[in-house]
Structure 1
């Protein structure tokens, strides 16, 4: 077996939060030697379920960095390649270690108003993200249980480090690749926050706060999230016929009309008449995408998850034998668990006794993007795949988007489409036309990376499975996204973000006590899946630079969603341990000390000691600014909840100055604005200045660039193999 792409890479993990710990976990289980540096008393999260999952596959050393161990820590850094930190530990002057790739994960980037702590709740509140999720039974924002900024920042850190390692493997310089919880939150906000000078009628998209998600309760109290009208399945058809037209119409009149579910009210009545197991059998047999809303952690029992090793059993020194999330990617050679989380300071003697030479002085920075010179051909559509290649474009890759003549189907949802396509050039190509094979062959021959998220049986018809691609270019990297993973009986099933929010437990966790499940409008499972694939493709790029071999990478919505369950584990008897906080019915917060509160002129968010929890009724009479001041005086971290949404963020001059807003000319929308930089890298500029393309916009330039003459291109257009905008 060929050594892992980053075998021999030494990573120092000096973080305590989710984002840094999980980024280091992904590096560890991709082959790196990760050393977790803890304070003398140990990491404050030790003994928790989350700590056991986040710190698996690492070695531990406890150090007094500001005192007796300062010199020894400096020696560790001298022999390391990567440092991940979040400000929790006192670090030396890192300019004396120019060989390091450094990743600092903060709450917000330097200079952001308020300088918030690394707390997802407060960052979401102050940035305006929290106001995107409406509460069920009242006006105003809802508390969100999932630490979404941290999960996205974990993947951003892993991607940034992967891109730096790829640059080093190509002879380039190391350097900083910082990110933050706020920048993590901006990733899913790409499809919600946008502004156009000349918006089209469909620019606002379909992800409306007022649209009721298609979640239906069954007779046994289990809720199902479905993503396709089920009126013609055998069981639903039978029940609608039994109701008769008059009763169907009467039931439908009790609910607002829905653009996709014309018999919503009758569907509600039908679902409530049969247990969930009967409905799942009926819907799955009819190829209806559906999953039940489960508690967080229940998915550890899922056969498909086990078939893909997305669930592993670990004998943890504190918890005993438990199931945890496994490594979420299929890569060559495979990643996976090296061992349970270490005991505090377990590896001190070994680490201090190792002779690891000081790294050489690196070459100077070229000032160019990290992935400059890398070409990616993206045959993907929708969101979970194409967002991964957009991130590679942000990092400097030349990304060619190949889409059908009518355009990516996601173009029908303009806001979602625009949120995952910037930086790409578009070629509109009919993959099913015989004449497309020559175009595909030339595209692949010039590509470093090829991506798509087609179901593999369909991809084989177009010559887009890995053996076909490798026959064209032997060292090609192939990245693929599926819903349920490459193994198991559900490997070809369709899937959507909503289904994995449901099955991973977040629709129940975010609902509030006694409420129906809630879909988070951020669509985060799509985004987390895409980021995991981007990281995997960078691993493959590093491997190719060091071995000359191409490889394939497989990511999935199921794998990415299971990883978010890391603060819950399952014992051998099926009991779940870890998460215990429950959201109240009004979705204000999980405890008196961590909560939203209404004020006279808006909302505030606060987090602090439970034994000093404030009187929220008293806060209700105060202006929000005064409420925040009083809360801070009592030792609480507190912020005003920004309710201005995308426009408030996108037109803030400080955000523009910090690069947190991207602005580009577009042939349809005029000046188009989106969330901007996901990373802070002063020596390696991001390429976020090209707008999402119009279908086929760059077709002629792309075809000429891969060797087609003007006459050849005219023939391809005439034969309807390609479409150019002017034709």
Structure 2
């Protein structure tokens, strides 16, 4: 394989749980040399059991160095790493890094080219600065739970840790922007993202309905809040999604359903009318879709140019022929677990590829290797082990 696209960058990973590891995973999959710093006891339990699916999926393509940053010798090893590094990523609560003296200003003094990324629950300053961050808290505070679920159901969390994941992805984007800018300025900078900020950004048009239109969105359940009819419809053997936004698409849907009466009904003739009469229209559509199987409707609707698809369980997702074609997973050999299948990147480049080249390491698996790269000899390494610095 050709040289990995980010292989020239060394990344020090101080992150735990999910948002931070998600950011670092983006860099690691594209070839960055990632050194994951863990406590001497390891980070198992912070993201699930070490050999569990979550932890294994989050931390592939990294090397593990165990290090006690509370000991002066541990901090000295960290400083040596920083002098050689391009990126440091951390998701401590804001006060912790200052207490350990591994904040941006302290490390920038060692390496002005350093790109330092911080991921927090609510931001590096402000009234909620010191609150502990957690995905579901951000989902609620950021408005997502008020627009998720069936009308009148009460707040519902999204089924994935969307605030964690997007905060990590946005942080990775910020890191890459800072590395590109460094090519012009020669200097690093402090990149910041937060679960709350990422969550609000992901509200997108729902947020704009308030900021521009002064409309407070509510729960719409499986129906799209503004594009109607778009939602879940029962069939003879299950349910399907149909998305028929706009008048032209609605007419195609009516034709595919052999439902001229829906096309000519004045209550449904306009976007506004379909919105006002959403429940009645959905009921009429569903009375028709119940007459055939999901597979039959999906084939007929897509042939007519109307977006439609199944509602897959997780096993069905990975059995789907298009998912298999996209090659969204990779298998990697693991010493303890055998072959492990992890979730891949959704981005493809025509010349350079992402790669899963190594499984999630055991705690401290690369400690001696990294220390030797920093210039420590066997005697010094043995002494660090004896004093439980590493």
Q: What TM-score, normalized by structure 2, do the two folds share? A: 0.82
For residues 208-227 of structure 1, the aligned pairs below 5 Å read none
1:520 is aligned to 158
* Separation in structure 1 between the aligned mates of residue 180 and residue 297 of structure 2, nearest angstrom: 51
Counterpart contact for 1:425–1:693, Cα < 8 Å? yes
Partner Cα distance (2:77, 2:170) in 1: 29
> For residues 515 and 655 of structure 1, do their structure 2 counterparts lie closer, same or farther at Cα, with a shift above 3 Å needed?
closer
Q: Aligned partners of 1:388, 1:632: CA distance in 2, in Å? A: 36
2:220 to 578, 583, 599: 583
Deviation at 1:721, TM superposition (A): 1.2
After superposition, the Cα gap between the structure-2 partners of 1:566 and 1:629, relative to the gap in structure 1 and judged at 3 Å, is closer
Displacement of 1:498: 0.7
SS of residue paired to 1:564: helix
**1:401 aligns to 2:36 (yes or no):** yes
SS at match of 1:460: helix
**Secondary structure at 2:231 match in 1:** strand
Retained in 1: the 8 A contact 2:298–2:310?
yes
Gaps of 5+ in 2: 255-280
Cα 1:429–1:599 change in 2 (3 A) is: same
**CA shift digits 1:2-44 (9 cap, x unpaired):** xxxxxxxxxxxxxxxxxxxxxxxxxxxxxxxxxxxxxxxxxxx
Q: Please give the secondary structure, in 2, of the residue aligned with 1:553.
A: strand
Partner of 2:56: 418
- Residue 360 of structure 2 aligns with which residue? 692
Q: CA deviation at 1:570?
A: 7.4
- TM-score, structure 1 as length reference: 0.45
Structure 1 stretches lacking a partner, 5+ long: 1-365, 723-727
Q: 1:604 aligns with which of 219, 231, 240?
A: 240
- Whole-Å separation in 2 of the counterparts to 1:571 and 1:682: 40
Aligned counterparts of 1:489 and 1:677: Cα–Cα separation in 2:
36
Q: What corresponds to 1:381 in structure 2?
A: 16
Asked whether the 8 Å contact 1:661–1:673 carries over to 2, the reply is: yes
1:622 aligns with: 292
Residues 433 and 583 of structure 1, relative CA distance in 2, 3 Å threshold: same
Distance 1:575 1:542, change over 3 A: closer
Structure 1 counterpart of 2:271:
none
By how many angstroms is 1:377 displaced? 0.4
More displaced stretch, 478-487 vs 652-661: 652-661
**Contact (CA 8 Å) 2:63, 2:365: kept in 1 or not?**
yes
Residue 107 of structure 2: which of 466, 469, 475 is its match?
Answer: 469
The answer as to whether partners of 2:10 and 2:34 remain within 8 angstroms in 1 is yes
Using a 3 Å threshold, how does the CA distance of structure 1 residues 683 and 717 change in structure 2: closer, same or farther? same
1:638 maps to 308
Cα 1:571–1:559, aligned 2, differ >3 Å: closer, same or farther? closer
Contact 1:402/1:427 (8 A) holds in 2:
yes
Structure 2 counterparts to residues 291-370 of structure 1, below 5 A:
367-370=2-5
From 508, 511, 516, the counterpart of 2:146:
508
Closer, same or farther in 2 for the Cα pair 1:626/1:454, shift >3 Å?
A: same
Quote the residue 2:94 is aligned against: 456
Equivalent of residue 541 in structure 1, options 172, 179, 201? 179
